[in-house]
Structure 1
Amino acid sequence: MEDKENRIFSVFLSLGSNLGNKERNIEFAYKKIEEQIGDIKSSSAFFYSSPVGFISENNFVNSVCEVTSYLDVDSIFATSQRIEKEMGRVGKSLNGVHSDRIIDIDILLINDLIINRPDLIIPHPRLHERSFVIIPLSEIAGDVLHPVLKKTIRELKEEFYRKFQI
C-alpha cells in the first residue's frame, strides 16, 4: 500500500494578473505558493497577452511554474484558491464569464493524474488552446506528456502554432 503521507507531486500552475502592478502580483503569488504549497522548481518568463473570453482595457501578465509539493490534490486546489482570496481576488469566473483579476492561479497538471470532477478538472481542459499557457508551459516543461492527449507540451505548442499560424 502506498504511503500517501510521503507522495511527492509535481504541480504545474498558471498564474495571471491584469490589475495593479501585474508583475509584482505574480511575484507575490510565487512567494505565497512557496510558503503554502511547496518549492518552486522552475518558472517561466513573463508572457504578456490580451484578455481571452472577455473585453477589458487591462492586458495580462502570465507565468507558469512547477512546484514540488507534499500536499494532496485537494489541499493544493484549496490552497491555490485561498492564495487568490488572500491577494484580493473577488470571486472566480462562472459559467465562462470572466472579469479582471488581481491574480488567477490555475492548476494545469499534477504528475500524470487525470481528474474530472465538477469542481476540478486536471489536466486543465484548455491549457493547449491558450497561448498564455502553452507557450510559457513549453518553456519549462516541453518534454512533459499530457496524460489525456498523449502528446508532449512541446508538440501541443507546435500544433497551437500551426492552428493559429503564429
Structure 2
Amino acid sequence: MKSAMVLVALGSNKPHGRYGPPSRVLVATMAALDSHGIKLVARSRIRTTDPVGPSSRSYANAAVVVKTKLSLPDLLRRFKALEAQFGKRRGQRWGARTLDLDIIGAGDAVVPSRLRWRAAVHGLIVPHPRLAGRRFVLDPCVEIAPDWRHPVLNLTVRQLHARAHRPKGIADG
C-alpha cells in the first residue's frame, strides 16, 4: 500500500501523571506517533479553547498532518491504542479526557461512502462529519492544511474556517 497523508485533530483537557498539563500531553503524543508507524509531516501550534458540552475544563487543541502506510481502519485502531496508552477511558461522551485523536480527512477518501457518510453511526467516518462546525478543529487545521478540500462538501479548510468564523445571520454569498 502506498503512503497516505491524513489530517488529524488532537485534544486534551485532563492532565497526565507523567506528561503534565494538556498542552504537554499533545506534545508527547506528537512525539509518540513515529513509534506507532505514523510519520509527522506538519503540526499546528497548540491552542487553549473553551470546552464544548458539559465539561468545565479548557482544552488544548492542535492538528497534525501525518503520513502512513496504514489503512484508515488500522490507523484508527492505532489511535485508539495511543489514547488508551495516554490514559483515555471509554465512558462519558463529553467527559474530561487525557487524549482525543480524530481523523479529520484523508485526501479525497470518504468512509463509509458518499451515500452513507452522514448516516454512519459506528466506527470510522472520514471526513469527520462535524468538522464544518468545529472552530476548535478548523483553527489549527487552517494553519497546516488550508487547501485540503472536503470531499463531500467540496470546500477547502480555508473556506470552512471562514464560514465557521462568519457572524451568525450572514448568508452564504
Contact 2:107–2:148 (8 Å) recurs in 1? no
1:13 paired to 2:8: yes
With structure 2 as the length reference, what TM-score do the two structures score? 0.85
How far residue 16 of structure 1 moved from its aligned partner, in angstroms, is 0.5
Measure the CA separation in 2 of the matches of 1:92 and 1:150.
34
* Secondary structure in 1 matching 2:123: coil
Aligned to 2:126: 122
Aligned to 2:18: none
Measure the CA separation in 1 of the matches of 2:65 and 2:37.
11
Aligned match for 2:99, one of 103, 106, 113: 103
Contact 1:89–1:103 (8 Å) recurs in 2? yes
* Secondary structure in 2 matching 1:147: coil
State the Cα deviation string for residues 122-162 of structure 1 (Å, max 9, x = none): 00011121111011101101011111100110011111111
How far residue 164 of structure 1 moved from its aligned partner, in angstroms, is 4.6
Aligned positions, number: 156
Q: CA RMSD of the aligned region, Å?
A: 1.5
Q: For residue 135 of structure 2, what is the amino acid of its counterpart?
A: S
Contact 2:8–2:103 (8 Å) recurs in 1? yes
Contact 2:73–2:124 (8 Å) recurs in 1? no
Gaps of 5+ in 1: none
Measure the CA separation in 2 of the matches of 1:73 and 1:143.
21
Gaps of 5+ in 2: 16-20, 113-119
With structure 1 as the length reference, what TM-score do the two structures score? 0.89
1:157 paired to 2:161: yes
Distance 1:164 1:67, change over 3 A: farther
Q: Which moved more, 1:20-29 or 1:111-120?
A: 111-120
Measure the CA separation in 2 of the matches of 1:65 and 1:92.
26
Contact 2:44–2:143 (8 Å) recurs in 1? yes
More helix by share: 1
Measure the CA separation in 2 of the matches of 1:164 and 1:24.
34
| Aligned-residue identity in percent | 28
How far residue 53 of structure 1 moved from its aligned partner, in angstroms, is 1.9
Q: Which moved more, 1:28-37 or 1:123-132?
A: 28-37
1:30 paired to 2:34: no
Query: Following superposition, which runs of at least 4 residues in structure 1 exceed 6 angstroms of deviation?
Result: none
State the Cα deviation string for residues 17-72 of structure 1 (Å, max 9, x = none): 1111111100111122222142111000112111112232x100000000011111
Distance 1:38 1:148, change over 3 A: same
